[in-house]
Structure 1
Amino acid sequence: MALMKKLTVLAGAAGAVSYVRNNPQKVNEAVGKAARFVDEKTNGRYHAQISGAVRKVADTTRPRTAE
């Protein structure tokens, strides 16, 4: 049964990667909205960490240029 659980998780992750590649703007909007919510609920205590995470997502979803 553990193997089926692992396969299900991997399939879900593959679907998430596909969604991110096809919808980077929607992903960035959702992450920004979640970040603002968490920042508000924590009264800005973790603002630097939240901003770093948002920046990391934005860097990851940015289109790659051919070198």
Structure 2
Amino acid sequence: MAMLKRLAVLAGAAGAVTSYAKKNPEKVNQAVGKAANFVDQKTKGKYHAKINGVTQKVSDATKPKPGH
């Protein structure tokens, strides 16, 4: 039963994050960029390609859809 409660909380949090990202795409992209740079520096570029991939996915997800 505790697992269901955790999943419900995570689903609620994911919905809140999605809503925030849609309303504030510039802030989200800026924060993700800063975090990506920080992680890339700390890992000395070891995961640079993966970090860039994730950053690009976030950027694509926060772009306005055509017709909206």
Confirm or deny a common fold (TM above 0.5). Answer: yes
Deviations 1:7-59 (A, max 9, x none): 22211111111101111000000000000000000111111111111111101
Residue 12 of structure 2 is matched in structure 1 by: 11
Question: Distance between the aligned counterparts of 2:30 and 2:17, measured in 1?
Answer: 16
Question: Distance between the aligned counterparts of 1:21 and 1:30, measured in 2?
Answer: 14
Question: TM-score, length-normalised on structure 2?
Answer: 0.87
Q: Gaps spanning 5+ residues in structure 1: where?
A: none
Aligned residues: 66
Question: TM-score, length-normalised on structure 1?
Answer: 0.88
Could you tell me the percent identity over the aligned residues? 47
Question: Distance between the aligned counterparts of 1:6 and 1:38, measured in 2?
Answer: 28
Which structure 1 residue ranges, 4+ long, deviate > 4 Å from structure 2? none
1:64 lines up with 2:28 in the alignment: no
What CA RMSD, in Å, does the superposition of the two structures yield over aligned residues? 1.1
Question: Distance between the aligned counterparts of 1:5 and 1:45, measured in 2?
Answer: 33
Q: Gaps spanning 5+ residues in structure 2: where?
A: none
Question: What amino acid does structure 1 have at the position aligned with 2:26?
Answer: Q
